[in-house]
Amino acid sequence: MAYSNSGSYTTGNSTKSEAQVCLKFPPKVSSPGLMALWSDKGQNNVKLGKLMEYSGPRLQIQMVVTFVLTQAIHSVLKHLRLPMFISQILAGMILGPMLFKGKSSLITSSDQSVAVLGTVGAVGYMFFLFLSGVKMDVGMTFRSGKKVICIGVLTVVVPLMSCLITAKSLSQESQFFTNKRVFLAVTYSATSFPVIHCLLSELKLLNSELGRLGLSAALIGEIVALFLLTICQWVIDGLENGWKVVVSNFGFFTVYFVIVVFWFRPVMKWMVRKTPEGGQIKNSYLYIVIGAFLVSHKLAELLKVYIVFAPFLVGLAVPDGPPLGSALVEKLEPIVEGLFMPLFVTTCGMRIDFSYLKNYGSFAKDQAISAVVTNFVKFGVSFLLPFLWNIPIRDSLAFAFIMLNKGIVEMAAYSFMNDTLVISQDMFAFVTIIVILIASIVPILVKSLYDPSSKHVRYLKKSIMDCKLNDELRIIGCIHVPANVNSIMDILNASCPTRQSPIALSVLHLIKLSGRATPLFIAHEKQSKSLSHNSYSENVVLAFNRFERDNWGAVSVKSFTAVSPPNLMYEDICNLVMDQFTSFLILPFHCRRHVDGSVESEDQTVRRLNFNILQKPPCSVGILVEGQRHVKCINSRDHIHDQYPLANSSTYTIAMIFMGGKDDWEALALAKRMSREKSVKLTVIQFKAGEGFQDDDGDRMMDKQLLRNVKENTSITYIEKEVKDGPETLTYLRSVVDDYKLFIIGRRYKREDPQTVGLHEWSEFEDIGIIGELLSSPDFGGKHSVLIVRHQ
């Protein structure tokens, strides 16, 4: 039985076109099984055709074919630095009608099969818009400076005006301003925040200076474009259908806005308040929010609100960040980004048919010219504004290309207009060519023009050895969890800060970006007497402020918080090292142990971050392995429970293991600085290789000079131990490990020494070296801390 339904799309008072769709009822969803079909007599192609009559297995086969083809194309195009978006579009074009003209492929075997695949993709796009709203921080628009607001507004308004002027000069129609033309003009000139965020994320520029500027300007541009589109549509409706219609539409929109903002958002804030601080939100709350999102489009349809606005506005109403926003993103983003969106982009590509360009109409030609002019104007405005504000020309060009980028949002807008017969096939072909070209060249050009790591090369090299004993020592201490606070303070106390030899400490609290799209870098002001209950790093800031008061004049503290993706935290650290002219960077070890030696926590994200910094250190780096002692957490009331061990102990014994090389030189310089404190007892232990081993002449001369100074210093105990191999080194370390509270050693990465022969095969953590791993293992008792130093 077949069911036929015909419909038309109307703009203004004129009917544009009519379409007819035929569907079979009852629909076949689940097949009786592959074995049942295969047992029937007939040829294999007939059996496959029977299988494709069922929408369930057909959809699964379509998904498999789509993903396999997309990955195959991307495996080639990724070497040209083209984004996955282009591979998905090309996969859709290959599977679409352009190559199977008049024939049915595995994907387009029937109108019903295409409709099911398109419906799945469209649902995914609604989820994508919802998550985009969830991750968007509208409050950023109020915190942005005047220059950013100016860029965001002008990069939309100026291209929009140029588009309308160009289209008006080319058009011969008496009634020019219609909803269709205005919608197209806004789409050409708009800046899509999700598209810009996706580009910067792929290029790993989210937390770069240009990335932050682009995200802020894109957010403002997105809001301006939505506002202009809504106002223009109301004005045109008023001119065409009367102002009563506009008043009615405005009233419906206001009702929807009030329901979402003044009823649904307070409910979600109540859910957040009911969640314990640092805890996970209840699954029932998540289901309520997702259910509200799923019915929002029906409410928008009843209230005559543009259907695409509904999920986006609901997402904006969700409080961003943890616990609700981050939980929604963690639950939904894998399936949306990994399943739904690739299908949606592929179905958009299946709509493309360049054969319609052979007989294009005058409207399509005029709009294509308008679109090209708009993009050129947008590029010019995006380049001139930052260039006039003294941004380098290469950075300004890169920023202009970032603001020009097109992607999934524009492709979706054109596809929906094509499906609803607002634009013709030839017009759709023109605008998709523009989207594909821009999306292809922009990542390549931005990558070639802007490299944030290049400024690190120009940074003045500075290390602890370069600092005189009485000079201010600039240190950055990185914090991942509250337990890292005590360990950083222990090292600072042992570093002998005095008024004559002060320490300038910059505390950087690193937080994983979750539930929001925009990275944050916060400089905490000391003038603020109290911090908000929900502010980032409140406990960490209060603890180090107290530490500064207890060491007034000897230690100055600046506190920062970086909220960014784990793979981009390296950029935040390097930027702070440059801004603060830092000599020494302290990083916590990724593995923490209990008193009994069992693993308390092991964070592979922290391990990768530490290894990346050690590969390209912006300054001298120290990996701090905390001793296996009970460390209480800090809270906002007491600031910090544990007192500083150095202050409570009569002596603080430190051992510096010296075997030679640049890492050991830097470690020795830090140890000598610590030895000036009367309560610190420093012992330098030199492991000397047996006879016959020859080291580099230059290194050996420097080793002798440094050790000569150590021997002449009466406050330092010097021990020379000759060892033949690794087991002998291991035996000696085991005999003295309980005598010291802190070991300072050089990393000595990939150095083959007689003193460590036979130990490399047991190495697990390359970031702390052979000796560092031995001293950090539970077999050595683990009551001491270990600081592994890597020179710049």
**Do 55 and 112 touch, CB atoms closer than 8 A?**
yes
Supply the pLDDT for residue 637.
35
pLDDT-derived band at 663, boundaries 50, 70, 90: confident
Supply the pLDDT for residue 9.
39
Helix (H, G, I), strand (E, B) or coil at 704: helix
How deeply is 291 buried, as exposed, middle or buried, from its count of CB atoms within 10 A (0-12, 13-18, 19+)? exposed
Do the bridges between strand 620-625 and strand 680-689 make them parallel or antiparallel, or are there none, so unpaired?
Answer: unpaired
Dist CA 100 CA 710 (whole Å): 81
Nearest to 565, CA basis, from 612, 636, 516: 516
**Do 751 and 726 touch, CB atoms closer than 8 A?**
no
pLDDT exceeds cutoff 80 at 106 = no
Mean pLDDT of 701-709: 83
Beta strand spans in 176-295 (E): none
> pTM for the full model?
0.82
pLDDT exceeds cutoff 70 at 174 = no
DSSP string, 384-444: HHHHHTT--HHHHHHHHHHHH---HHHHHHHHHHHHTTSS-HHHHHHHHHHHHHHHHHHHH
Dist CA 782 CA 252 (whole Å): 67
More confident residue, 272 or 534: 272
Find where tokens 């539970």 sit.
778
Q: Which residues lie below 8 Å from residue 762, measured CB to CB, with a gap of 6+?
A: 773
Q: b/e string for 676-692 if b means 16 or more Cβ within 10 A?
A: ebeebbbbbbbbebeee
**Do 117 and 55 touch, CB atoms closer than 8 A?**
no
C-alpha distances out from residue 698 to 46, 557, 647, 704, 749, Å: 80, 39, 41, 10, 19
Supply the pLDDT for residue 226.
84
Dist CA 86 CA 440 (whole Å): 7
Dist CA 79 CA 671 (whole Å): 48
Dist CA 148 CA 328 (whole Å): 29
DSSP string, 542-573: HHHHHHHHHTTTTEEEEEEEEEE-GGGHHHHH
Mean pLDDT of the chain: 79
pLDDT exceeds cutoff 70 at 528 = no
In single-letter form, the type of residue at position 38 comes to W
Supply the pLDDT for residue 738.
84
pLDDT exceeds cutoff 80 at 186 = yes
Dist CA 605 CA 520 (whole Å): 19
Supply the pLDDT for residue 25.
61
Q: b/e string for 588-605 if b means 16 or more Cβ within 10 A?
A: bbbbbbeeeeeeeeebee
pLDDT digits (tens, 9 = 90+) for 109-148: 555 666 778 888 888 888 998 998 888 877 776 677 788 8
Supply the pLDDT for residue 380.
93
Which range is least confidently modeled, 524-528, 543-547, 640-644? 640-644
As given in the structure block, the two tokens for residue 357 are: 């360009």
Supply the pLDDT for residue 439.
93
More confident residue, 581 or 301: 581
Dist CA 420 CA 431 (whole Å): 16
Cis peptide before 26 (omega within 30 of 0): yes
Nearest to 588, CA basis, from 618, 612, 610, 558: 610
**Do 664 and 746 touch, CB atoms closer than 8 A?**
yes
As given in the structure block, the two tokens for residue 327 are: 């939980």
pLDDT exceeds cutoff 90 at 14 = no
C-alpha distances out from residue 397 to 31, 201, 203, 481, Å: 56, 19, 16, 40
Instruction: For residue 31, count other CB atoms closer than 10 A to its CB.
Output: 17
Specify the DSSP class assigned to residue 247.
H
Nearest to 702, CA basis, from 760, 732, 661: 661
Strand partners, 742: 654, 785
* Phi, then psi, of 651 in degrees rounded to 5: -135, 150
The CA-to-CA distance between both ends of the chain, in Å, stands at 77
Alpha helices in 616-759 (DSSP H): 645-648, 662-674, 697-712, 726-736
Mean pLDDT of 346-360: 86
**Do 519 and 565 touch, CB atoms closer than 8 A?**
yes
Alpha helices in 96-208 (DSSP H): 111-135, 140-143, 146-170, 179-189, 193-202
Q: Which residues lie below 8 Å from residue 29, measured CB to CB, with a gap of 6+?
A: 54, 55, 56
**Do 168 and 177 touch, CB atoms closer than 8 A?**
no
H or E segment at 700?
A: helix 697-712
How deeply is 275 buried, as exposed, middle or buried, from its count of CB atoms within 10 A (0-12, 13-18, 19+)? middle
Dist CA 235 CA 181 (whole Å): 13
Strand partners, 559: 507
Mean pLDDT of 650-656: 82
Residues above pLDDT 90, as percent of the chain: 11
Dist CA 562 CA 557 (whole Å): 16
pLDDT-derived band at 694, boundaries 50, 70, 90: low
Do the bridges between strand 742-746 and strand 785-790 make them parallel or antiparallel, or are there none, so unpaired?
Answer: parallel
Most confident range, picked from 133-147, 226-240, 386-400, 641-655: 386-400
pLDDT exceeds cutoff 60 at 250 = yes
Which range is least confidently modeled, 7-16, 24-33, 103-112, 381-390? 7-16
Find where tokens 């592994």 sit.
788
Residues above pLDDT 70, as percent of the chain: 81
Q: Which residues lie below 8 Å from residue 287, measured CB to CB, with a gap of 6+?
A: none
pLDDT digits (tens, 9 = 90+) for 600-640: 667 888 888 888 888 888 888 989 888 764 333 333 334 33
pLDDT exceeds cutoff 90 at 381 = yes
Mean pLDDT of 232-253: 77
Supply the pLDDT for residue 378.
93
**Do 512 and 605 touch, CB atoms closer than 8 A?**
yes
As given in the structure block, the two tokens for residue 641 are: 């429970």
Find where tokens 């090389």 sit.
661
Dist CA 764 CA 639 (whole Å): 36
Dist CA 352 CA 62 (whole Å): 18
In single-letter form, the type of residue at position 476 comes to I
Q: Which residues lie below 8 Å from residue 375, measured CB to CB, with a gap of 6+?
A: 159, 188, 404, 434, 438
More confident residue, 616 or 153: 153
Question: Chain-centre distance of CA 83, in angstroms?
Answer: 16
Which range is least confidently modeled, 16-20, 725-729, 742-746? 16-20
pLDDT-derived band at 508, boundaries 50, 70, 90: very high
pLDDT-derived band at 15, boundaries 50, 70, 90: very low
